[in-house]
Amino acid sequence: MSALRGSPPNMDVLSLAIQESRSLLDLPNNWDAEGSPAYAESTWTRAVDFLLHNAERLWQDQGIVVSAPQILPGPDGSIDLHWRIKNHELLLNIPADPHALADYYGDTVDGNAINGKLNPTARNQWLLMWLAE
Amino acid sequence: MGEIAWPKEDIPDDGVLYMRLHRAWTSSGEPIPGAFRNIVDGMSTDWDRYSTPEETRQRARAPSDNAVIALVVGQVRTVPGQTVEHAPLPDNRAHTNVMGEKSAQVRLMLMRLYRMALPLQ
């Protein structure tokens, strides 16, 4: 049954955010005049895969649509996914090191918080589902 | 003649730290989470006892590409794992590091503490 759902209905919005974020790959070394390194395509791909795979799974398994995050330059060649949705804020950092875990923190205006590290290539739709609570 | 070695001082909680914000780390003129990061020893700032926001901006390689934000020391010290350490340089007595890992939690919390001291020009 879940496979019948296909792609999330806001896939065009997610795709646009992803497409625009590809400009991160145009930044050269020292792009901020403070020594920040260029962004590797492999890091960007891991960030995008995390977003797409988990958004699709969340839609297919639960019928929940996740909003597009800001896809932003992070420290030391990492990439940040940043959501501000209603009462929730979530920051997920995809590190430049492909073997390192992703660091996340989220909280709500009610004071509920989640904080930890995860393998960004594993199934993590639970994190995006938290945004929809 | 040697360079002047400024004494390292304790910074009170009511001190203010000025931090340059390169336009590349902004969105709509405001900082993005990545702006709050360590460079070598920590997040580099200037203590307001020895610097004005404009002096902080002028220390950038390209001052016109930089805004300056302000953080209250006592509030920074409430962020998990963060310490404020005066680290004067020969040419900058105000220089201060905010030490500690800049995790996602820390960066979001710092995002909620700043005020804009000098916006982008």
Range of the domain at A39: 2-131
pLDDT given at position A6 = 81
- Res. A86 pLDDT band, cuts 50 70 90: confident
B116: pLDDT strictly greater than 60: yes
H helix or E strand, kind and range, residue B107: helix B104-111
A8: pLDDT strictly greater than 70: yes
A72: pLDDT strictly greater than 90: yes
Residues of chain A neighbouring B110 (CB-CB closer than 8 A): none
Does any CB of chain A come closer than 8 Å to the CB of residue B38?
Answer: yes
Domains: count for chain A? 1
pLDDT given at position B2 = 58
Question: pLDDT tens, B77-99?
Answer: 999 999 999 999 999 999 999 99
- Interchain proximity A31–B24, CB inside 8 Å: yes
Burial B80-103 (b: 16+ CB within 10 A, else e): eebebebbbeeebbbbbbbebebb
Residues of chain A neighbouring B105 (CB-CB closer than 8 A): 105, 115
As for the ipTM of the complex, it is 0.92
Which amino acid is present at B40? Answer: V
- Res. B3 pLDDT band, cuts 50 70 90: low
- Interchain proximity A33–B37, CB inside 8 Å: no
- Interchain proximity A72–B104, CB inside 8 Å: no
Question: pLDDT tens, B21-70?
Answer: 999 999 999 999 999 999 988 999 999 999 999 999 999 999 999 999 99
pLDDT given at position A34 = 87
Per-domain boundaries in chain B: 16-118
Whole-number Å distance between alpha carbons of A48 and A99: 17
A1: pLDDT strictly greater than 50: no
Please state the φ and ψ torsions of residue B29, each to the nearest 5 degrees. 85, -5
